[in-house]
Amino acid sequence: MNTMNKRPAECHREGNMRCSTLDFEQLLGESARIHGHLCPGQVLGVRMSILGLSRIGILDPKGRDRKSIIVFVEMDRCATDAVQSVTGCSLGRRTLKFMDYGKMAATFVNLKTGEAVRVVARDDSRETAGEYFPEIENRHAAQLEAYKVMQDRELFDVMDVRVRLKPEDMPGSPLRRIRCDSCGEYVQDLREVERNGRFLCRPCAGSGYYVPVVRDIS
């Protein structure tokens, strides 16, 4: 049975998290494999996920608890790949939600209990990391090794939160498909915009990220 574990050093230092048989280094190695390399952001993401899942009572996110979790990530950086790797959540399964806040933070939600915690990486952990391995001249290398052994309270701030989950944001079949009255493309999950009695997709309503290119074929 795949269950969660925090770093062994943390198991001894703090008693508010349960340990399991899945090794921290195994989680980190799998995350680095998926991401393509090992970096400080990967370590933070793995540690962040272990802490968040444990705080909401999720011990087996890829097994028996896989339908009980949604994670909101607030950055599109290295740590996000680590969160996906550890939790098993993904955009395609609608269990990973991307909020473009530009913050090194993630919120872990237990769908069964309603418990949710937001875990934020402390900015001062960068300086603290340098005190752990002063003999390592490369700053990023020192951070990588320090993040593996630093205590949770040195790395993160944790807050209990309440997350309002809308039916159209939940996993499962689309609640509705509707045709855009402008471009003719279909929109799922109530993402359409109603304007003057017409249903439009968001790009046609003026909030798209792209602009169509009209090519001269003459």
pLDDT of amino acid 156: 96
CA dihedral angle for residue 183, residue 188, residue 190, residue 195, rounded to 10 degrees? 10
CATH topology of domain 8-167: 60s Ribosomal Protein L30; Chain: A; (3.30.1330)
pLDDT of amino acid 218: 67
Q: Are 31 and 22 in contact (CB under 8 A)?
A: no
pLDDT tens for each residue of 73-120: 999 999 999 999 999 999 999 999 999 999 999 999 999 999 999 999
**Helix axes of 24-35 and 78-87: crossing angle, nearest 10 degrees:** 120
pLDDT of amino acid 25: 87
- Name the pTM for this structure: 0.84
Amino acid code (one letter) for 142: A
pLDDT tens for each residue of 145-187: 999 999 999 999 999 999 999 998 899 888 999 999 999 999 9
pLDDT tens for each residue of 52-68: 999 999 999 999 999 99
Question: Could you tell me the residue ranges of all domains in the chain?
Answer: 8-167, 173-218
